Amino acid sequence: MPIDPSAEAALLAAAMRSLSRHVTVLSELGTLFADAGHELYLVGGSVRDAVLERDVTDLDFTTDARPDAIQRIVRRWGDGMWDTGIAFGTIGIAKGEYRLEITTFRADSYDQVSRNPTVEFGDRLEDDLIRRDFKVNAMAVRVTPEGVGEFHDPQDGLVDAAARRLDTPSPPEVSFGDDPLRMLRAARFVSQLEFEVAPRVREAMERMAPELGRITAERVAAELDKLLAGADPIAGVDLMVQTGLGAVVLPEIGDMRMAIDEHHQHKDVYQHSLTVLRQAIDLEDPREAPDLVLRWAALLHDIGKPATRRHEPDGGVSFHHHEVVGAKMTRKRLRALKYSKQMVDDVSQLVYLHLRFHGYGDGRWTDSAVRRYVTDAGPLLSRLHKLVRADCTTRNQRRAARLQANYDDLEHRIAELAAKEDLARVRPDLDGNEIMKILDIPAGPLVGQAWTFLKELRLDRGPLEHDEAVHALKKWWNARA
């Protein structure tokens, strides 16, 4: 269906407004390539985002110039240059605040087995655009000495942009067969752009989901992070699960659809987890970048429930120790996706701790319990606060208000204790050197045991006077003999 002329004009005007902010760098590059006798086009996500009036943060170009010619053209112009993608025709350039990529026209072919492309350089813009993942990413704008020139849209990407729809330039079976990661990228764009997938694209995703298993963990993880960092990750996750992609890359998420929660107040734990993710995002500071640690923890916090579900004699359902099982499952999944050790540790620790607050009751925790809560959370405490609050999804307004009031009280008590003692770094009142001197022992395991005893004592009783700590240490030492 052709786009309404007024809508087309509005989108093109939006693109020109967005690109005008980059006119200096565009005109400089346009002049360099024109003087060298080559064509240059802004392409892909750069044009799509300009059309949608999103921030254009990356400038990607395509050209008929071969990689060695690109290097010659921009060598003196750029502040820096890298050629890590030169095998695929891509040259990277740093220029002031910009990080640019310029790629030779591509006309790749795929063997449909390894899914690795046979890199072939092309000579026509149209051949380059048709091999791209989605029509909205197959638009281009010519770059000229004046800045921007004519708009090229042979695949009707503007039509899809106006309809907020994702469709493929070639049949989706061909596109996804060339690169199965494009199916996961569709879910990512649903999150980032708040688009819907075309029916034929969804049908192809459902049929071809197992093909995603051919993609490396690193590429999958990069797409999942972008999906979770998007404007509507709930829609992206749900598309991934409903089409079967989730069963390949995050099977634990879809498995939660089978576990009714213990309060019988949600359709299933899966829907509850999506709600928690949405509420956690609402608690983020909008001035800061999306918090991927918090978002991953919110999505995964209950993945241990299916494995721990028990039907009780009274007809209820329990999930005892699901936080312990869930933390282990989280660690295993994130390791399989090749996340950093820090990311694995942080997300799994939040999953492990997310239920701890429910033992707080109506403020019945001792100061010792509050200290342990803060110490176990460590630098994750602010995220734990958000996760616990987001985990309240009950429709019972009275119960929800009581939970939030209890957590307000816990945060108040944490602040009170922090004003009296350094909760951020709870350490023994005696250091290792003092322990060795007092007990007259050399460095070794015994010093570590004594240090641990004093740390536990510090958590239980708070800061001790020096003489009190020495007395407690000697008493512990004599008792072990």
CA 252 to chain centre: 17
Please say if the pLDDT value at position 358 is more than 90: no
Question: Whose CA is closest to 131, among 196, 183, 173, 178?
Answer: 178
Q: Give me the chain's average pLDDT, please.
A: 89
Give the pLDDT score at 448. Answer: 86
Please say if the pLDDT value at position 185 is more than 70: yes
DSSP-derived 3-state class of residue 6: helix
Please say if the pLDDT value at position 266 is more than 50: no
Give the pLDDT score at 418. Answer: 75
Give percent above pLDDT 90 in the chain: 61
Query: Which is more confidently placed, 55 or 325?
Result: 325
- Least trusted range by pLDDT, from 261-270, 345-354, 373-382, 468-477: 261-270
Give the pLDDT score at 374. Answer: 87
CB atoms < 10 A from the CB of 370, how many?
Answer: 20
Give the pLDDT score at 124. Answer: 92
Give the pLDDT score at 81. Answer: 95
- Provide mean pLDDT across the span 64-74: 96
CATH classification for the domain delimited by 5-163, as one of 2.60.40.10, 3.30.420.40, 3.30.460.10, 3.60.110.10: 3.30.460.10
- For 20-30, b where at least 16 C-beta lie within 10 A, e where not — what string? eebeebbbbbb
Query: Which is more confidently placed, 397 or 155?
Result: 155
- Least trusted range by pLDDT, from 3-17, 188-202, 271-285, 409-423: 409-423
Please say if the pLDDT value at position 84 is more than 50: yes
Which secondary-structure segment (H or E) carries 148?
A: strand 147-152
Give the pLDDT score at 55. Answer: 86
Rounded distance, CA 109 to CA 392, Å?
Answer: 51
- Least trusted range by pLDDT, from 239-243, 280-284, 438-442: 438-442
Tokens standing for 180? 């199965």
Please say if the pLDDT value at position 135 is more than 80: yes
Please say if the pLDDT value at position 480 is more than 50: yes
Please say if the pLDDT value at position 157 is more than 80: yes
> Where does the pLDDT of residue 309 fall: very low under 50, low under 70, confident under 90, or very high at 90 and above?
confident
